[in-house]
Amino acid sequence: MAIFLDSSDLKEIRQFMATGIVSGITTNPLIISKENPGVDLKTHILEIISMGKVPTSVELTTETEAEMLAEAREYLKWHPKHVVIKVPMTEIGLRVIHTLERGDKTPVNVTCIMSFNQAYVSALAGATYVSIFSGRVRDMGYEPARIIEQTRAVLEREKLKAQIIVGSMRHMADVNEALHAGAHIVTVPPAILRKMFWNPRTTETIREFNDAWKFDRAKKK
């Protein structure tokens, strides 16, 4: 299993890369426009990649097949080794996935997946990653864990290369659920990832140990 960081904030990326626990970055137009409005995308993505040299997903924003392929190939030129093309789950998207993966040998992260069948056909098209949106699935009244479990089982049964990324995390419990259900990767926003480090009992215990040591040293002066 692996953790990706779902962010385009350079400060946050730098801090989390220093922990050694992040093995990929996912971005999307909504994240970038909120965190870095008006930024030059190429400069920004290259700066992200320079921090960790890890797979970095860059999402397509055009809509026709020809436009999407041209956009993907432009992004790939920026850093062929670490750019992953993020393609939305649509019928046109499937054709783009197939062309990029089978023809261009370009890794694709299929995004906005809300169901098992979408994950399955994306994997059949050749996707390297299939991204299931946990929070949005739950918004529709379905259990993300069941979709993750079904997808993992079929990928293994049919020996498909796709790895499951679970994103759209709203709570730390969503991360735990996805990992237990069989996600290969969870992509986690900084605020939630930071919560994974913290427990009130841990903080209390560290303080107790440190205070005891300081008290002991003070007595010997």
Distance from C-alpha of 27 to C-alpha of 83, rounded to nearest angstrom: 11
Distance from C-alpha of 203 to C-alpha of 196, rounded to nearest angstrom: 13
- The DSSP result for 116-156, as a single string, is HHHHHHHHHHT-SEEEEEHHHHHHTT--HHHHHHHHHHHHH
* Helix-then-strand count for the chain, H and E: 11, 8
42 is catalytic: no
First-residue to last-residue Cα distance in the chain: 50
- Measure the CA angle with vertex 66, ends 62 and 67; round to 5°: 25
Assign 3-class secondary structure to 178-207: HHHHCCCEEEECHHHHHHCCCCHHHHHHHH
Which 8-state DSSP code applies to residue 100? I
Check 11, 42, 77, 86 and give the catalytic one. 86
Question: What letter represents residue 71's amino acid?
Answer: E
Active-site residues: which are they? 86
